[in-house]
Structure 1
Amino acid sequence: MKTGTQLSDELEPDDIERARRTSSAGRKLIWMFLLSAMLILLVLRDVYREISGEGLSFAIHIPTFVTPYIPAIVLVFVLLAVVVGPMLGLGRSPHRLVRPSEIDVDSDDMLGASSTVEMIEQLLEEYRNFQVLSDRYGATPPRAVLFEGPPGTGKTMAAKVIAKRAGVPFLFVSGSSFQAMYYGQSGRKVRSYFRELRRLTRRYGGAIGFIEEFDAIGSARTNMGVSQGADGVTGVVAELLVQLQSFEHNTIVERIAVKFGILSASRKSPRFLLVAATNRASELDPALIRPGRFDRSIHFDLPNVQSRREIVYGLVEKRVGQATAASFQPTIDRVASMSGGLSQASLYRMVEEAGVIAFHDGKRPLLEQDLWNAFAQVALGRNSGVPYNDFEKLVVSVHEGGHCCYRWFGGGKPNVSLVSILKRGEALGLTASHGEQDTYLLSRDDMLDEIAALMAGMVAEEMIFGDVTSGSSSDLKRATSLAMKYSTNLAMGRSLISLGEISPQTEAAILTSEGPVRDEIESILRAGRERSFEVLSRCSKELWRLAMKLCEVEELDVRDLTEVLGPRPNSARSIDVSQFESSRRSQS
């Protein structure tokens, strides 16, 4: 077993098991000592009675007036045991010690996350060579790292990979496990966790602690510059501040050894690494995330289209083999381009759902259509069929046909991939569109084009039936939200003033009161409606033909749409950079 500054590459299972039982062994010794002391006292009492001539008497004499109260007394002692018993372990560390051999993920399982794997390699290199980094370069490796990002982006998996590659004990704990109902017990649990982390570090030459959902104990205190304070966690945050600042504290034995010259005062103690993961980094206490406590913050973002393609292809390849996965490539590309906003966890679940679909369909091998059905189920909602009557079915077909025809003939960047009148969740139908690449910026034309596309369903109903239905409510809500951002947040309207994040109360106040902002939002929505009417008027025949086809087959993909509507016009806008160059020269 390696100790000191040497990092053990592989730990023996027996050593890890002994480390797991060490904390409970001390408590067992204390109880054994107390029971032994009681037995010794009883023996001494009997010896004294024997010597004094009183003799030994084992009879128990209970006064008669006490006899009726015996059940109540027993009940009181039982209740005390139930209440006090659990309190004896309230200050224990709530962690779970995991062996490196028990971790079933590695860097090869982190599909589509090449930058994250590179970050892990750098962190491990710094962790292993902390002594060289300190002596030669005068740099201090990070002692605590914060993983922050949306849910399902691989934060926990990355921490497991770090522990497996490092080959050291991994102390996993959830932030909510530190919370206790009695005052002061949460701080005791934090101290016990860090004490155990230091102990294992000194024993094995290294250890890694991982706190999941760190915001449960690290939320900002009141008046710390964050919008919402949490007075209930003030004591826990204070204890975390102390523990994160005192990584290198020596034990009592080590301090005595330093005092008598047995150990060098400048000696570097073995390193341990603390990793904390949270979905709400903005709510953490500012004193926690400053350098010196959490030295590094790593953001885990949602995968882009290339990463989504790698993730889905890798998962499919593991299940059907490389040759069959290559034949799935068209569907994989379509799913990757349409799944913007899905996390890694959602993509993993989608591929698993494809296997479930194949299992229920006669336990057959996985097919390409299963992958598409799984994507529609995870991203769009479970298929509930067409529960409408004939007239409602026609109205929904016209409505979705309006969205599709505007996207198809009206220009704009997104391409229509799917039109369906199948009910999925609360949506009576859907028109799915995608681009070849993820879009991170929207121009004025993009915003107005999206608003017009949202208004196209209502415009189509009015053109065909002369009336509108309640099916346009969600479209109007989204269009109003975009128009609000256009006017008040993105400085695309008449005013350059940005109101920042609009709360629901402020939004309701703007929309229900007379004023220039409300007038501008109304004009934007009306302009989008007119734009939709102009485009759909040019393709009214195609709109009706598409609605009839939807009533017949209920769902159309891009190949079916090409047969019904013809080739999509190439109307994507291009930017002439020379215009900006000439404008810049004229201004200079």
Structure 2
Amino acid sequence: MGKEILFGTFPVLIVFLVFIGVNVAPFIIAALVLSLLMFVIMRQGGMSVTQKKTSVDTPKTQIKFNDIGGQERAKKELREALDFLIHKDTLKKYGIRPLKGILLTGPPGTGKTLMAKAAANYTNSAFIAASGSQFVEMYVGVGAQRIRDLFKEAKQKAEKNNQDSAIIFIDEIDVLGGKREGSQHREYDQTLNQLLTEMDGITTSENPRILIVAATNRADMLDDALIRPGRFDRQIVVDLPDKKARKQILEIHVKNKPLADDVDIDAIARDTFNFSGAQLESVTNEAAIYAFRENSTEITQRHFSHAIDKVMMGEQTDRESTAEERERVANHELGHAIVSEVVRPLSVSQVSLRPRGQALGYVRQSPQQDRYLYTVENLEQQIMIALGGAVAEEIIYGGRSTGSRNDFEQALHLVNTMIDTGLSRLGIVKVDMVSREALHEERQRILNELLEETRAVLRSFFPVFKHALDHLLREEVLNGDEFRAMIANAKNMVKKDNLEKIDTQLLNA
């Protein structure tokens, strides 16, 4: 009613002022500016904080813990925490305090959000979801009010459905739960303070009980007060899957796909080392897309091989290189492959001359087993593999090219890892307390020694370059089995040459 009176009175007032000869232009401009300002504030939510919905009303999902491949330990811990909501009477007998918060941490794409959805289906609790960015506003007090509304909404939903517990899932909690910076008074701090208060239970009742499940990729960025016991009681690491878990994830995602008889899930799991669950799902989807493009009735192992390359390196590009560049790139990649196969047998899965992403060629390695601890020998082998491309160019062309830049960065990173972990001749040291000259000399010593070893390996297997190069330039792809056959032939040739030299020496004697 007030708006109608205002809009009706203003034109009459303007007409009256014009009638008595008053300049009305300043009044009209002021009214327009005020209206625009009020419109912007209304859009930002500054005048209607409580009316803005902060959560997503998530219905019961069909996802269950059995639908999530791998992560057995993480699923077990999460199920146990959810069981505390279900079996409250048993908890009282043991004097167990119910958990207030569970923090899911780990790299992107490992299934943290998926596990939260499975939690909603596992327990008979009200479930609402929100994202950390929904609580960040430029206006003071808005985020804190939304935190209060979120807990209030969870409680009301549980009471409405006659449920005695509720689960609030906050994704990307590091956006609002980051470390507080000294005495600075920020809107983020007020929002975090309100979340800490709500999790302490000062303003909430015991029934319905609220469990907070949050996910983040950056647990190290969270405020210490947020991750202490009594708030987030458990931190569950949802890490990258190992080979067994990768196989389980792949089997889940290929259930609805027509697979050819030659598809080997074990080989795919082996070739996708360090892939996350999201990347594995993308591999199965891209393989199906490749089959669809070819109008194939089944998805073959070749389609999966292309899909792994695409997810790992990016889509194949249309770069047209000169014949000289293609030959140099082929020899460069063969240098990597030869060293890799010599120092780590059965490690080469494929050598490709097809440009993908920023790479003009690449070697896809397939470790026989997942490795999480590295010895000096392991690191030196990896450095030799990284240097193999540049050394191959040196031997064949007498010099290197700019294509070795990333290889050198990788090699230097591995050298620094050796020094930092006490695996170099410097022993156990703190890098900040060692002079730059000493560090430089140790890096150069390691690299020079491994360069000589790499040269010796490539010279011993130099005949492989001729046979593999012709095949690679013609077909653009050389699979691991074919490459290993060439390596075996080269070894036989080396043995034969050595025997002939020995026979010649005996005859001369």
Q: TM-score range by the shorter chain?
A: 0.7 to 0.9
2:416 is matched with: 484
Q: Secondary structure at the match of 2:256?
A: helix
Partner amino acid for 1:315? H
Q: Which of 416, 437, 445 in structure 1 is aligned with 2:377?
A: 445
Contact 1:536 1:543 in 2 (8 A): no
Structure 1 residue 344 corresponds to structure 2 residue 277:
yes
Contact 2:141 2:187 in 1 (8 A): no
CA deviation after TM superposition for structure 1 residue 368, in Å:
2.8
Deviations 1:103-128 (A, max 9, x none): 24222321233334333432332111
CA deviation after TM superposition for structure 1 residue 358, in Å:
2.1
Q: How do 1:189-338 residues align onto structure 2 when only pairs under 5 Å count?
A: 189-203=146-160, 204-205=162-163, 206-223=165-182, 233-246=188-201, 249-250=204-205, 269-320=207-258, 324=259, 327-330=261-264, 332-338=265-271
Partner amino acid for 2:191? V
1:552 is matched with: 474
Deviations 1:545-569 (A, max 9, x none): 2222212211111122134333798
Greater alpha carbon shift after TM alignment, 277-286 vs 456-465: 456-465
Mark the CA change 1:328 to 1:153 in structure 2 (over 3 Å): closer, same or farther.
Answer: farther
Mark the CA change 1:520 to 1:73 in structure 2 (over 3 Å): closer, same or farther.
Answer: closer
Partner amino acid for 1:240? L
CA deviation after TM superposition for structure 1 residue 62, in Å:
6.5
Find the aligned partners of 1:336 and 1:94 in 2 and give their Cα distance.
40
Structure 1 residue 495 corresponds to structure 2 residue 426:
yes
- Give aligned-pair identity as a percent: 28
Partner amino acid for 1:220? K
Contact 1:90 1:180 in 2 (8 A): no
Q: Which of 55, 65, 71 in structure 1 is aligned with 2:17?
A: 65
Q: Which of 420, 425, 428 in structure 1 is aligned with 2:352?
A: 420
Q: Which of 339, 356, 364 in structure 2 is aligned with 1:432?
A: 364
CA deviation after TM superposition for structure 1 residue 380, in Å:
2.3
Q: How do 1:88-167 residues align onto structure 2 when only pairs under 5 Å count?
A: 88-91=47-50, 92-100=52-60, 103-134=61-92, 136-167=93-124
2:302 is matched with: 369
Find the aligned partners of 2:188 and 2:490 in 1 and give their Cα distance.
58
Find the aligned partners of 1:544 and 1:421 in 2 and give their Cα distance.
16
Structure 1 residue 181 corresponds to structure 2 residue 138:
yes
Deviations 1:523-558 (A, max 9, x none): 111111100111111111122222222122111111
Find the aligned partners of 2:185 and 2:475 in 1 and give their Cα distance.
55
Q: Secondary structure at the match of 2:98?
A: coil
CA deviation after TM superposition for structure 1 residue 270, in Å:
2.5
Q: Secondary structure at the match of 2:176?
A: helix
Find the aligned partners of 1:129 and 1:99 in 2 and give their Cα distance.
23
1:475 is matched with: 407
Contact 2:393 2:399 in 1 (8 A): yes
Partner amino acid for 1:486? M
Contact 1:397 1:421 in 2 (8 A): yes
Find the aligned partners of 1:318 and 1:123 in 2 and give their Cα distance.
32
Deviations 1:288-308 (A, max 9, x none): 111111111111000001111
Partner amino acid for 2:82? L
Mark the CA change 1:78 to 1:492 in structure 2 (over 3 Å): closer, same or farther.
Answer: same
1:257 is matched with: none
1:532 is matched with: 454
2:507 is matched with: none
Q: Secondary structure at the match of 2:17?
A: coil
Q: Secondary structure at the match of 1:65?
A: helix
Partner amino acid for 1:245? D
Partner amino acid for 2:363? T
Mark the CA change 1:182 to 1:339 in structure 2 (over 3 Å): closer, same or farther.
Answer: same
Q: TM-score, normalised by structure 2?
A: 0.86
Find the aligned partners of 1:524 and 1:146 in 2 and give their Cα distance.
42
Contact 2:71 2:238 in 1 (8 A): no
Q: TM-score, normalised by structure 1?
A: 0.75
Partner amino acid for 1:311? I
Count of residues in Structure 1 that have an aligned counterpart in Structure 2? 475
Deviations 1:456-506 (A, max 9, x none): 11111121222222221211111111112212x110112234447x9xxx9
Mark the CA change 1:71 to 1:431 in structure 2 (over 3 Å): closer, same or farther.
Answer: same
Q: Which has the larger radius of gyration?
A: 1
CA deviation after TM superposition for structure 1 residue 341, in Å:
1.6
Mark the CA change 1:125 to 1:61 in structure 2 (over 3 Å): closer, same or farther.
Answer: closer
Structure 1 residue 564 corresponds to structure 2 residue 486:
yes
Q: Gaps (5+ residues) in structure 2?
A: 6-10, 492-509
Find the aligned partners of 1:568 and 1:431 in 2 and give their Cα distance.
20
Q: Secondary structure at the match of 1:318?
A: coil
Contact 2:67 2:252 in 1 (8 A): no
CA deviation after TM superposition for structure 1 residue 79, in Å:
2.3
1:579 is matched with: none
Find the aligned partners of 1:328 and 1:281 in 2 and give their Cα distance.
42
Find the aligned partners of 1:223 and 1:287 in 2 and give their Cα distance.
14
Contact 1:381 1:425 in 2 (8 A): yes
Mark the CA change 1:302 to 1:247 in structure 2 (over 3 Å): closer, same or farther.
Answer: farther
Q: Gaps (5+ residues) in structure 1?
A: 1-34, 43-58, 251-267, 570-588
Find the aligned partners of 1:499 and 1:168 in 2 and give their Cα distance.
51
Mark the CA change 1:564 to 1:271 in structure 2 (over 3 Å): closer, same or farther.
Answer: same
CA deviation after TM superposition for structure 1 residue 216, in Å:
0.3
Contact 1:408 1:568 in 2 (8 A): no
1:14 is matched with: none
1:519 is matched with: 441
Find the aligned partners of 2:173 and 2:12 in 1 and give their Cα distance.
56
Mark the CA change 1:202 to 1:245 in structure 2 (over 3 Å): closer, same or farther.
Answer: same
Deviations 1:78-116 (A, max 9, x none): 32541343423224451111121xx24222321233334
Contact 1:413 1:435 in 2 (8 A): no
2:129 is matched with: 172
Mark the CA change 1:337 to 1:231 in structure 2 (over 3 Å): closer, same or farther.
Answer: farther
Q: Secondary structure at the match of 2:227?
A: coil
Find the aligned partners of 1:368 and 1:230 in 2 and give their Cα distance.
58
Mark the CA change 1:562 to 1:199 in structure 2 (over 3 Å): closer, same or farther.
Answer: same
Contact 1:248 1:269 in 2 (8 A): no
Find the aligned partners of 2:430 and 2:53 in 1 and give their Cα distance.
46
CA deviation after TM superposition for structure 1 residue 73, in Å:
6.5
Find the aligned partners of 1:434 and 1:186 in 2 and give their Cα distance.
48
